[in-house]
Structure 1
Amino acid sequence: MPDTSAGLLDRSRTVAGPGYNRWLVPPAALAIHLAIGQAYAFSVFNKPLGSLISGDPAHPAPTDWTPGQIGWTFSIAIVLLGLSAAIFGKWLERVGPRKAMLASALCFGGGFLIGSYGVHIHSLPLLYFGYGFVGGIGLGIGYISPVSTLIKWFPDRKGVATGMAIMGFGGGAMIGSPLAVALMNHFKGSAPQGVAPTFIAMGIIYLLFMQWGVWTIRVPADDWKPAGYVPSTDHNAMITTGNVSADNAIKTPQFWLLWVVLLCNVTAGIGVLETASPLIQAVISGTEKGKGMDTAALAAAGAGFVGLLSLFNLLGRFFWSSASDKIGRKPIYLVYFGLGVILYALAPTLGLGGQLTLFVVVACVIISMYGGGFSTAPAYLSDLFGKYQVGAIHGRLLTAWSTAGVLGPLIVHSLSEGRKAAGFTGAAAYQTVFYTMAGLLAVGFLADLAVTAVNAKYQEKGPVVAEAGGH
């Protein structure tokens, strides 16, 4: 029973009573992830942020921020996502999801507000600190907050559970992209490109929206399990009945193989997502129909493409991770990487040939598997290490995302800018990007192939004792 003497944010106040319907928990997770998933829509700010002084994206002023400078905002946010998830993972397990979700909301919303002032005074360091550093901490804490909770509620459907928890993050841009475009159009008469007031509005909107998750989240009692649930290892001999602590998990080769798996998957996908809007505009501009489109129409097409990728990112997170419940985590990652290599290698040919529809289809499938890689990871970790401290282990694994947050955009910008400097335009400027990402996916394939069951010597001996306020 909840401890009524404890504070409203205390974990004991979130323990569900007998007969609680576990299907009421996923909406709380979605409220957090749909908000922080806005990070995937950051590319819609790239051109407006690059023309705050000139007012014309096509003719930037010498003092305008360059695409590379702006890209670091997103990279810093992703770096802090992984680092904060790793640092605060054990704290989350101790204090429970409600307090962590509130911290996430305050940081994510506050990051927008600080960033808006940086935009207003044209201070790049302040934009980095606000949206990148403070907002990135909110991303990390919010990202892992619902995951271990849902795994505890759905031990019989871990892939479905993690898909529900994380699909909102993939779908966040589906809301964030058109919202940002609409707000910038609304405010463009009162501020350069309408960016600063848009940041303020979005910060407040997301802070309030995330309160639904904060105050509705529930955790199961320590001895709770679904009616009739019997652990099964039918399809995957690597599923453990033991438990490995977060500190011991990082001593295993399996953890680091999965770290490489996530690094390769994220680096490849994030490079496309981070440049989604300018990338599709370049492809469209290379078609006969696209040559007659003005800047506003191309920008709208870019925002639409970001939203479409967000939809497939969302759907892939649920579809692929649910499929992993049937065929196993290791085989599903082999599908992600094997098929991904083919599609990444095919994409440049489609773009250069003006095959816009096929290019979009390939991009959507690629991003669906990118999303699936994220949502399957917590279930993979739970299979290998048990559910004890799986949230903290997941947080440490996300340092691979931090690394990819720098590596992905760095590869994209350096290769594409090099091609542009060599005289290549449109889709041709991104050709080597896709081939490089295909090579990274091949490395990820080999790393997943090497994953085996965790040695029992790393498991906790005797009954697992929960941390204070933990599980």
Structure 2
Amino acid sequence: MPSPSKIPWGGILALLGGFLIQLTLGSFYSFGNVMTYMTSYMRVHGSPNMTYGDFIVVQSVWGMTQGAIFPLSGFIIGIIGPRVAMFGGCFIFSLGSALTYWTLNHSLTMVAFTYGFVSAFGQGIALIPTMTIGMKWFPKRKGMAMGVIVGGFGGGAFIFNQIQTAILNPENVNIAESGYFEDEDLLKRVPGLMLILSAIYVSIQLVACLMVTEPPACQFLDNRKELDGYASPVDSSSPVESPVKQEVLSKESEAFELDITPREAIRRREFYILWLTRFSVVLVTQTIAGFYKAFGQTFIEDDHFLSLVGAICSIFNCSGRLFYGLLMDKTTYRLAMTTETVGLFCLFSTLYVTSILGQVGFAIWIWLIFLTFPGTYSTQPAVTVQTFGHKYGGTIYGFLFTSDIVNNLLVGILSKSILEAWGYMGLFFILAAFAAFAFIVTCFFPWNPSPALLRQKDEHIACEEMGNGKDVSAYNTPNWTKDAIALEN
């Protein structure tokens, strides 16, 4: 058992704080539940022809905003600092919900701006610091750290689904023949819900942000040295610049020099494999998160049951993130992701059968889906750092979110047309096809990627080119590698 002095209490608090922040930000997964109430409210207050297929654009705006903000969030965080980014991002996220109190009575465009754009903008700034700080505290357990932190994001709906339904529909009023809620008492509570949610978010986030701190610089260097296979023979916090310490710091500098820059990453095959995988899985995720309750309403007349299914989904969502994070730690990203995508293909290709199986079958299938797709969210941040290095890993991971612009745009534009043409069966088969595509793409990802291996590829190419008398400066190999190449030639 480790001694108390060796227990990284700061790291444990950082994981807990990150979990709580993502718990509130993860209320996104309650969208499928609250969408049925918000759509019904707007149908009675100025938009009588609005459908779920129309309202899904709010979720699409959310996702597209994420895709646009995350690539920039690394630079924003670098300027203002991770803790300021967390505080500011959380405030903006909560503000989006509060502003929706007013926009619900105006137009879908305004709701998409406040509940979609503003909330997602804040979320995009606040998310990454919780993940990168957690991995700094536990560099040898990146998958575990990511699983714990993003488990909060997956678990948010467990709390907020129940809060939403308890406030709006305590009498378990069912939808009308139109397929939407028309009860006046239920609908008049919808705007006030936005203010209540905003107050809850702010209260939790304020405490959580105070818990998340970065490890001392000397401890992070020691963690990195241990991970890279050498330990400091002197106290790294010592002000004495001994020759031994200078040598260690020199090695540390070389280790960081191996890290792949964002400009280099976007020219790597590994980056685009991760991008395409995220594109496919997030498209599947966004669609089922938005429509699972609407699909269930076509054959289940029990709003409390459907809300409970959504709440329990978050437990599976949270557990799935931790499970796949641990699976990656024990095996590889490639094995974890191929397992996930095969599972998604099987589940979506048979999901429509639950309309025959009834409540129990529907619940089991939805829960298994929510257990499976979250693997992407715990493994991809970790494998991005593993592949490209700590120094730029968070920024490069942010660039993967550009795929969200495309997949959310497709969900927003095509969902209504697909449902009108082929119904839910056609929609689910299309989602299964995207899962199959993600599986195929992942099969081309290396088993054990690292910055060193990528640099070795550059070195090999550079050696061949230099042997032919060509300039090797374009390969961005470290200076000491170029010197070695010159000596060999």
* Structure 2 partner of 1:200: 195
Higher percent of residues as helix:
2
1:338 aligns with 2:338: no
Separation of aligned partners in 1, 2:42 and 2:389: 53
Unaligned runs of 5+ in 2: 1-5, 172-182, 230-254, 459-474, 481-489
Aligned positions of 1:45-444 closer than 5 A: 45-52=34-41, 63-119=48-104, 121-185=105-169, 192-225=187-220, 230-231=226-227, 242-282=258-298, 285=299, 290=300, 293=301, 298-348=302-352, 350-354=353-357, 356-408=359-411, 410-419=413-422, 429-444=423-438
Going from structure 1 to structure 2, the CA distance change for 1:301 and 1:376 (only over 3 Å counts) comes to same
> Secondary structure in 1 aligned to 2:189?
helix
- Give 1:222 deviation, angstroms: 2.8
- Are the equivalent residues in 2 in contact too, given 1:75–1:405 (CA < 8 A)? yes
- Are the equivalent residues in 1 in contact too, given 2:147–2:326 (CA < 8 A)? yes
- Are the equivalent residues in 2 in contact too, given 1:268–1:408 (CA < 8 A)? no
* Structure 2 partner of 1:39: 28
Write out per-residue CA displacement over residues 157-177 of structure 1, whole angstroms, 9 at most, x where no aligned residue. 110011112111111111111
Moved more, 332-341 or 322-331: 332-341
> Secondary structure in 2 aligned to 1:112?
helix
1:96 maps to amino acid: G
Separation of aligned partners in 2, 1:154 and 1:448: 26
Q: How many residues are paired up?
A: 414
Going from structure 1 to structure 2, the CA distance change for 1:253 and 1:209 (only over 3 Å counts) comes to same
Separation of aligned partners in 2, 1:133 and 1:115: 11
- Are the equivalent residues in 2 in contact too, given 1:82–1:402 (CA < 8 A)? yes
| Aligned sequence identity (%) | 22
- Give 1:76 deviation, angstroms: 0.6
- TM-score, normalised to structure 1, is 0.81
- Give 1:210 deviation, angstroms: 0.7
1:197 maps to amino acid: G
Separation of aligned partners in 1, 2:22 and 2:405: 18
- Give 1:103 deviation, angstroms: 1.4
Separation of aligned partners in 1, 2:218 and 2:259: 16
Going from structure 1 to structure 2, the CA distance change for 1:337 and 1:186 (only over 3 Å counts) comes to closer
Over the aligned positions, Cα root-mean-square deviation in angstroms equals 2.8
- Give 1:95 deviation, angstroms: 3.4
Separation of aligned partners in 2, 1:227 and 1:374: 24
- Are the equivalent residues in 1 in contact too, given 2:54–2:416 (CA < 8 A)? no
* Structure 2 partner of 1:469: none
Separation of aligned partners in 2, 1:381 and 1:108: 26
- Give 1:434 deviation, angstroms: 1.6
> Secondary structure in 2 aligned to 1:122?
coil
Going from structure 1 to structure 2, the CA distance change for 1:409 and 1:300 (only over 3 Å counts) comes to farther
Separation of aligned partners in 2, 1:53 and 1:232: 57
> Secondary structure in 1 aligned to 2:106?
coil
Separation of aligned partners in 2, 1:244 and 1:54: 51
Going from structure 1 to structure 2, the CA distance change for 1:122 and 1:382 (only over 3 Å counts) comes to same
Separation of aligned partners in 2, 1:54 and 1:442: 37
- Are the equivalent residues in 1 in contact too, given 2:10–2:215 (CA < 8 A)? no
2:373 maps to amino acid: Y
Separation of aligned partners in 1, 2:435 and 2:216: 40
- Give 1:64 deviation, angstroms: 4.9
- Give 1:337 deviation, angstroms: 1.2
- Are the equivalent residues in 2 in contact too, given 1:81–1:138 (CA < 8 A)? no
* Structure 1 partner of 2:239: none
- Give 1:47 deviation, angstroms: 2.5
Separation of aligned partners in 1, 2:383 and 2:160: 29
Separation of aligned partners in 1, 2:391 and 2:119: 28
Going from structure 1 to structure 2, the CA distance change for 1:51 and 1:391 (only over 3 Å counts) comes to same
Separation of aligned partners in 1, 2:377 and 2:77: 20
Separation of aligned partners in 2, 1:430 and 1:360: 16
- Give 1:145 deviation, angstroms: 2.2
Unaligned runs of 5+ in 1: 1-16, 234-239, 420-428, 464-471
Going from structure 1 to structure 2, the CA distance change for 1:204 and 1:79 (only over 3 Å counts) comes to same
- Are the equivalent residues in 2 in contact too, given 1:25–1:150 (CA < 8 A)? yes
- TM-score, normalised to structure 2, is 0.78
